[in-house]
Structure 1
């Protein structure tokens, strides 16, 4: 477990997250995740801290309106999402590209779990993942 620091492009939003990158990452094929090439690590909400920029954050919800996607209202960068799952309870899904101190070598070595969010099938990965 390591504490990573992240931010949006303009620096208005900042956060910390305690995560084990080798425990795995996620990529989802739902409509929003595939459009923004969402690659994240899920952590229990207790392992996430917003350090600055609450006033700059904007929230987007769609479809079931269950999960919230947060982005900087100034630069538009998606920084994290929130939701609930049976396995984690309340969680934050931290966008890996926003982690300022995650070495590229660690990122490319991280395991990836693919989610079939397009079909609300969170157990079986989608048949096609190359575009994610």
Structure 2
């Protein structure tokens, strides 16, 4: 399936192809716990992720080792995706940013990022 997503204001958009999304993932690390977003349980390769952002709209926050890159819109503040610590360069997406995905109906697992 082809998925499209965006931040709230539309300054950051993205698309990728993946099988039907049937579940999500939450992480308990210090950043993800505060974000509270339901992320994809799968990762998207950099080649498969098509990102479009208005000039200056895509900002990045990283901490600790700096390997994980938490991307957000500098205009509306929404987190649409991040590059992972365990698979550098690959993305997990904020399922709440995807068109046609109702995150309130998805089961999810919890990843223990706080212990890394």
Q: TM-score range by the shorter chain?
A: 0.7 to 0.9
After TM superposition, give the deviation of residue 28 of structure 1 in Å: 0.2
Partner of 2:46: 45
CA distance in 1, matches of 2:70, 2:55: 14
Corresponding residue pairs, total: 113
Pair 1:64-2:60 in alignment: no
CA deviation vs aligned residue, 1:108-131 (integer Å, no higher than 9, x gap): 5544221000011xxxxxxxxxxx
Confirm or deny: 8 A CA contact 2:83 2:90 kept in the other structure: yes
In structure 2, what is the Cα distance between the partners aligned to 1:28 and 1:65? Answer: 17
Q: Higher strand proportion, which one? A: 1
- For structure 2, list consecutive stretches of 5 or more residues without a partner in the other structure: none
Q: Which residue of 2 aligns with 1:93?
A: 92
Post-superposition shift, 1:89? 6.4
When the two structures are superposed, what TM-score results if normalisation uses the length of structure 1? 0.75
Q: Secondary structure of the residue that 2:32 maps to in structure 1? A: helix
Offset, 1:7: 0.6
Largest Rg, 1 or 2: 1
**Structure 1: unaligned runs, 5 residues or longer:** 121-132
Please give the per-residue CA displacement for 1:15-41, whole angstroms capped at 9, x wherever unaligned.
10222213x421100000000102111
SS class of match (1:78): coil
Q: Deviations over 1:74-127 (max 9, x none)?
A: 111111001353xx664111101111232x2xx45544221000011xxxxxxx
